[in-house]
């Protein structure tokens, strides 16, 4: 029987630990449950020790962010499958077994994620992952069930099991050997889009990522950074540039990268017109940060092409989701 470890990365999340850890304990029979603490300054560790004594605690010496925290924690975890689970997620009865069955029965599947619904609006899909992650021809990520700020109501329309381009880091089940094969998550991302980068690497290695619609979890979302937080804006825009710079072929990068920059600047202007000066400044800061780190990204780009030269395009959405959404009114992806 495959060994599964559910690993929750925590940073000052005492509220979420008390609120959601009981559901993980109740509904994760057979799995080891671990909380990796990113040097929290609140009462998280003492709460775990006193209220959840059966949970294994991995104490990190400082806050390494999402990527660095998981990389260091998972070096200390022995299991066949890892589940990277956000602390603000409520799991449900039977959530584990359908995903385990997928990995047990199909060795070509490297990673899988469940249906992600909103904790506060339980009939709606949640922003982070929804019903499977996709990416368009310009490198913009989106999901079935959620495109930009439009989310669908869950009516069972995505109760399927299908191959997708990326699986959400909010609840990512991945083979441990695959995670370590790619040295985990890119720590330069710190947080946001790191799972898309990892899944793109898996695609380059001709490994598959799946969405499992008969497993369900409920996600609060934006538990650490609010959706309009300038830091989140900064990370999303900076990491988005790093993502496509690392993975796009040279030919398409030459014409798509300038277009992405132009669209990013339009987004900054839109923030400015809405009075969100902090977010507008975050976009500019993100571009400046990317420029300063371009030599590092170039090295990663070359390493990817050396070790994983295969570039799969069949799983990439052929259109531009911005055009389809804002100009053509497209709200659903089948």
Look at strands 109-118 and 208-219 and give their pairing: parallel
> Do 219 and 121 contact (CB within 8 A), yes or no?
no
Residue after which a domain boundary falls, among 177, 198, 219:
219
pLDDT for 333 equals 83
Assess whether 86 and 234 both reside in one domain: no
3-state secondary structure of 5: strand
Residue after which a domain boundary falls, among 187, 219, 251:
219
Assess whether 37 and 186 both reside in one domain: yes
pLDDT for 228 equals 78
Whether 53 maps to a domain, the answer reads yes
Residue after which a domain boundary falls, among 219, 254, 269:
219
Whether 54 maps to a domain, the answer reads yes
Assess whether 247 and 174 both reside in one domain: no
Assess whether 253 and 183 both reside in one domain: no
Number of helices (H), then strands (E), in the chain: 11, 13
Cα-Cα end-to-end distance for the chain: 35
Task: State how far the alpha carbon of 203 is from the alpha carbons of 109, 167, 197, 314, in Å.
Answer: 11, 12, 10, 10
Q: What is the C-alpha separation between 281 and 288, in angstroms, rounded? A: 11
Whether 21 maps to a domain, the answer reads yes
Note the pLDDT tens digit of each residue in 254-291. 999 999 999 999 999 999 999 999 999 999 999 999 99
Assess whether 214 and 295 both reside in one domain: no
pLDDT for 163 equals 96
User: Could you count the other beta carbons within 10 Å of the beta carbon of residue 153?
Assistant: 10
pLDDT for 313 equals 74
Whether 237 maps to a domain, the answer reads yes
Domain carrying residue 312: 230-326
Whether 224 maps to a domain, the answer reads no
Q: What is the C-alpha separation between 119 and 22, in angstroms, rounded? A: 15
Assess whether 248 and 99 both reside in one domain: no
pLDDT for 227 equals 66
Query: In the chain, which stretches have pLDDT less than 50?
Result: none
Task: State how far the alpha carbon of 139 is from the alpha carbons of 26, 97, 193, 237, 247, in Å.
Answer: 39, 32, 11, 12, 9
Q: What is the C-alpha separation between 122 and 278, in angstroms, rounded? A: 31
Number of domains in the chain: 2
Closest among 231, 220, 191, 194 to 38, alpha carbons compared: 191
Closest among 180, 179, 188 to 209, alpha carbons compared: 179
Assess whether 284 and 234 both reside in one domain: yes
CATH of the domain at 126: 3.90.550.10
> Do 322 and 263 contact (CB within 8 A), yes or no?
yes
Whether 52 maps to a domain, the answer reads yes
Assess whether 152 and 291 both reside in one domain: no
Whether 331 maps to a domain, the answer reads no
Q: Which residues pair with residue 125 across a beta bridge?
A: 117
pLDDT for 2 equals 76
Q: What is the C-alpha separation between 92 and 117, in angstroms, rounded? A: 11
Assess whether 289 and 172 both reside in one domain: no
Assess whether 176 and 50 both reside in one domain: yes
Assess whether 165 and 245 both reside in one domain: no
pLDDT for 309 equals 82
pLDDT for 311 equals 72
Whether 188 maps to a domain, the answer reads yes
Q: In 3-state terms, the chain is what percent helix, strand and coil (to 5)?
A: 40, 20, 35
Look at strands 81-85 and 4-10 and give their pairing: parallel
Residue pointed to by tokens 């290695």: 205
pLDDT for 124 equals 97
Assess whether 176 and 267 both reside in one domain: no
């Amino acid at each position: 029987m495959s060994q599964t470890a559910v690993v929750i990365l925590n940073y000052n999340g005492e509220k979420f630990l008390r609120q959601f850890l009981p559901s993980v304990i109740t509904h994760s029979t057979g799995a080891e449950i671990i909380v990796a603490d990113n040097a929290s300054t609140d009462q998280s560790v003492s709460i775990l020790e006193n209220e959840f004594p059966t949970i294994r605690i991995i104490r990190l010496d400082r806050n390494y962010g999402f990527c660095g925290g998981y990389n260091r924690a998972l070096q200390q975890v022995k299991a066949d499958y890892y589940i990277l689970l956000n602390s603000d997620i409520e799991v449900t009865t039977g959530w584990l077994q359908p995903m385990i069955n997928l990995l047990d029965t199909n060795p070509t599947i490297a990673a899988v994620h469940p249906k992600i619904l909103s904790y506060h609006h339980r009939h709606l899909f949640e922003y982070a992952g929804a019903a499977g992650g996709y990416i368009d021809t310009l490198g913009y990520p989106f999901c079935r069930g959620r495109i930009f700020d439009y989310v669908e109501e869950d009516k069972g329309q995505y109760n399927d099991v299908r191959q997708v381009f990326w699986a959400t880091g909010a609840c990512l089940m991945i083979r441990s050997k695959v995670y370590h094969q790619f040295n985990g998550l890119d720590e330069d991302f710190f947080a946001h889009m790191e799972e898309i980068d990892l899944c793109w690497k898996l695609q380059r290695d001709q490994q598959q990522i799946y969405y499992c619609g008969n497993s369900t979890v409920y996600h609060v979302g934006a538990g650490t950074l609010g959706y309009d937080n300038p830091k989140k804006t900064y990370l999303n825009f900076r990491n988005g540039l790093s993502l496509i710079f690392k993975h796009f072929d040279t030919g398409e990068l030459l014409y798509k990268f300038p277009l992405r920059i132009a669209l990013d600047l339009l987004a900054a202007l839109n923030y400015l017109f809405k009075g969100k000066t902090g977010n507008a400044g975050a976009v500019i800061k993100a571009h400046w940060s990317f420029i300063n780190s371009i030599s590092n990204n170039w090295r990663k780009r070359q390493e990817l092409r050396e070790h994983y030269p295969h570039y799969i395009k069949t799983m990439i959405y052929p259109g531009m989701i911005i055009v389809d959404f804002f100009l053509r009114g497209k709200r659903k992806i089948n």
